[in-house]
Amino acid sequence: MGQIILWPMKKETDIRRGRHCVFLKHVHLVFVTKYRRQIFDHDATEKLRTYFSNVCADFEAERVEMDGGPDHVHLLINYPPKLAISSLVNSLKGVSSRLLRRDRPDIAVRYYDKGVLWSPGYFVS
């Protein structure tokens, strides 16, 4: 007889509950800076981490992970089934652009083209 392999289950605390559903949904997002400009240093990345966490909280979502490079960010977000990903993306990009421009005017002066930080598209999986 073959050996039975049980796949590791997510911790029960990772599973979220709504009024009428139980869920564990994640989305991987990638945002790229306009013209792939090398903008983000450590300080800017930490500020983005805070901005993204706050926006996610407003949408009853959770920023699980964030990584990236000088010209892009990767986000792993746990989100409720009622949330449209496009709405979340719109808010994440808009709020982060506005707040980074406010908090880091040195970046805004050098890199923002007509007030735009992010490339218009995004990757989602």
Amino acid found at 124: V
Tell whether 4 is covered by a domain: no
Instruction: Please give the share of the chain, as a percent, with pLDDT higher than 90.
Output: 72
Q: Residue 33 is part of a domain; what is its CATH number?
A: 3.30.70.1290
Tell whether 92 is covered by a domain: yes
Tell whether 86 is covered by a domain: yes
Look over the chain and give the mean of its residue pLDDT values, rounded to a whole number.
Answer: 88
pLDDT digits (tens, 9 = 90+) for 7-58: 454 555 677 777 777 878 899 999 999 999 999 999 999 999 999 999 999 9
Check: CB of residue 67 under 8 Å from CB of residue 23: no
How many folded domains does the chain comprise? 1
Tell whether 82 is covered by a domain: yes
Tell whether 56 is covered by a domain: yes
Q: pLDDT at position 35, please?
A: 92
Domain that holds residue 40: 18-124
Tell whether 12 is covered by a domain: no
Tell whether 3 is covered by a domain: no
Tell whether 78 is covered by a domain: yes
Chain-centroid distance, C-alpha 118: 13
> Please, what's the largest Cα pairwise distance for the chain?
68
